[in-house]
Amino acid sequence: MGFNEKQEELVKESWEMMKEDVPGFSLYFFTQILEIAPSAKGLFSFLKDTDEIPQNNPKLKAHALKVFKMTCESAIQLREKGEVVVSGSTLKYLGSVHLQKGISGPQFEVVKEALLRTVEKGVGEKWCDEMKGAWSEAYDQLAAAIQAEMNKEALEINP
């Protein structure tokens, strides 16, 4: 399914609202991931062996910011470019890391749910089914690009 003009407009509008506090929404995004799937904590070297509150972890803050920003910015460019726009080396790296960590479909769904919760919090009363659909489509296309890269890498490892 393509990403239409209305979806692009909704994603851009909500991203503009969230840009006012990207660090805060990034952290909220990651706390949602950990709330939905507490076992995900073990996937992050900087969280594995600590009981520290994630909000106080500077490495988590930096990682969350990078992931949230890349996810949102790739969504913004989706219609214009017709595909997920993440540099080839970044996409290859994401595929490699996710493959090494054993990430699969259910984990991508956890991240999607966390993203949708974050956008809903970010836009407040402007949240609607159309906006949810737009962000879902954008995220699904990013996840599909990462999974395609994971599959390529898996074939290189086990031809």
Judged against a pLDDT cut of 60, whether residue 85 lies above it is answered with no
- CATH numeric code, 5-157: 1.10.490.10
- pLDDT score recorded for residue 72: 78
Residues making up the chain, counted from first to last: 159
Model pLDDT for residues 6-62, shown as the tens digit of each residue: 998 999 899 999 989 988 999 999 889 989 998 888 888 777 777 766 677 788 888
| Residue 82, phi-psi category: left (phi > 0), alpha (psi -120 to 50), beta (remainder) | left
Direct distance between the N- and C-terminal alpha carbons of the chain, in angstroms, rounded to an integer: 30
- pLDDT score recorded for residue 88: 54
CA atoms within 13 A on the CB side of 70: 16
Mean pLDDT of 103-121: 91
Cα separation, 134 vs 10, in Å, equals 7
Going by pLDDT thresholds of 50, 70 and 90, the confidence category of residue 159 is: low
Q: Provide CB contacts within 8 A for 88, sequence distance 6+.
A: none
Tell if the pTM clears 0.85, that is, is over it: no
